[in-house]
Amino acid sequence: MTSSLRIAALLLSLSASTLVVAAPEMTATEMREKVQSFYQQSREFLTKENPTPDELAAMRTKYEELAAKILGNVDVATLTRAERLGLQPLLATSPKHRDMVRAILVEESKQSNAAGFAAAVDSLGYLEGGPEAQPIATKLVLAAVDHPAAIEGIRGGEGGNLFWYIQSVPADALAARKERLTAIALALAESKSPEILGMTPTVLTSLATVLSRPELDAIRSTATKSMQAAADATTSEDEKRWLTRSLKLMNGAAMRGELLDHPVPAMTFRKVYPGENVTPWTSLADLKGKVVVLDFWATWCGPCVGSFPQVKELRAKLDPKDVEIVGVTSIQGFVMSAAHERVDCKGDPAKEEAALATFLKDSGVTWTVAISNEDVFNPDFGIQGIPFVAIVDRNGVVRRANLHPSNHEEIEKVIAELVAEKK
């Protein structure tokens, strides 16, 4: 994913309640209005489907110019860490501000205490995307792993999002730090911080290629007990929701190591919109004998909608007698659309079903879409981000998971292999 689209994803998940004052003379309300303006204007950059490299470059320039304009003359040197975190989507987008923040964090990370570790992890949020940046990113991630205060920092509630970035590090580099990563992961699993504990599913995903099943299960067991205790103790509804959702992930089939090469987890559907030339169905059991591509998505997810051309092309290539493509979503309380205003449907699932039908028609969707009763971030599949593709063979066994729909060559290859297999 390009850096500009990553920033867009951050913006889509940004909560106004986390915004902070950037400078003494600027009120929280003024800053909130500026960031919301950035959010609204940035959304317009995502309306282009399947952009070319030149269009992506132009999009990135627009992001940079808009972020710089909104930040104006903010003095990066005077920002507190909390302010930097609150403004990160803007600071990381504007090249001038990004470079200044990165320089400050590099200096702060030289401290051998928990604050130094926090700065080392924070600096990862200012990395640029692209293959050419990968060696630098790997070096900085490993520097954070090796920081002398990493375990101290994790236990103190800092740097849990380190594991988001660990996923991009080559497996051999991670394997060389197996003991260190295990110690950090266990420190995280023993934490009393709800925010840190909520990162444990990401930890297990990040270390799946490094640790054995028993080692992963030991971390999962410790973390689950800590998370349940924290959920029982907290009086914050937000923390309770965060921990409850994370616990579902921890207890799901994927985190138990029972997704790949196992029967597809049970799913039920409140509404199915059949694709072209597809016999209507109500249950995945009805699709036994076909290869099934499950593409988890939502209307508000820019990368999900941006992948529609690839999914449409894939549907056109494949015989519906052999392969069913199912775009799985869930009730979200609203429907986003580039063609129409946002439709609020909170508390009215029937309204959302109708709005989604209009969205699908306007978007030229030719494949089946289904509204599942389970959350689109389905815990049994270990879904922590969408789009997310899983492929099920003719016998109803999950053979691949955590694919991106834009990776159509690999998806087509897997489908061809599974179609060729005997029932």
pLDDT tens digits for 8-42? 444 434 333 333 433 445 556 666 676 677 777 77
Q: Specify whether the CB–CB gap between 174 and 210 falls below 8 A.
A: yes
Across the beta sheet with 368-372, what order do the strands follow?
269-273, 368-372, 323-330, 291-296, 388-392, 398-403
Say if strands 291-296 and 323-330 run parallel, antiparallel, or are unpaired: parallel
Matching residue, tokens 């292999």:
417
pLDDT of residue 6: 43
> 343-344 and 334-335 as β-strands: parallel, antiparallel, unpaired?
antiparallel
Q: Is the pLDDT reported for residue 1 higher than 60? A: no
Least confident of 3-7, 79-83, 245-249: 3-7
Residue 37 in tokens:
């303006």
| Torsion region of 70: left, alpha or beta (phi above 0 gives left; psi -120 to 50 gives alpha) | alpha
Burial of 194 (0-12, 13-18, 19+ CB in 10 A): buried
Averaged pLDDT score across all residues of the chain: 87
Q: Specify the pLDDT at position 47.
A: 53
pLDDT band at 148 (very low <50, low <70, confident <90, very high): very high
At 7, is the pLDDT very low, low, confident or very high (cuts 50, 70, 90)?
very low
Superfamily of domain 269-420: Glutaredoxin (3.40.30.10)
Q: Does the structure show a pLDDT above 50 at 277? A: yes
Confidence at residue 164, expressed as pLDDT on a 0 to 100 scale: 87
Task: Count CB-CB contacts under 10 A for residue 190.
Answer: 16
Q: Dump pLDDT digits (tens) for 166-196.
A: 888 888 899 999 999 999 999 999 998 888 8
Range from 298-312, 335-349, 361-375 that averages highest in pLDDT: 361-375
Q: Alpha helices of 210-348 — where are they, by DSSP H?
A: 213-233, 237-251, 302-306, 308-317
Mean pLDDT of 202-209: 89
Nearest alpha-carbon partner for 388 in 409, 415, 372, 406: 406
pLDDT at residue 319 in the model: 93
List CB contacts of 217: < 8 A, sequence separation 6 or more: 256, 257
Phi, psi of 259 (to 5 degrees): -105, -65
Residue 303 pLDDT class (50, 70, 90 cuts) = confident
Domain ranges of the chain: 3-251, 269-420
Higher pLDDT, 423 or 226: 226
pLDDT category at 49 given cuts 50, 70, 90 is low
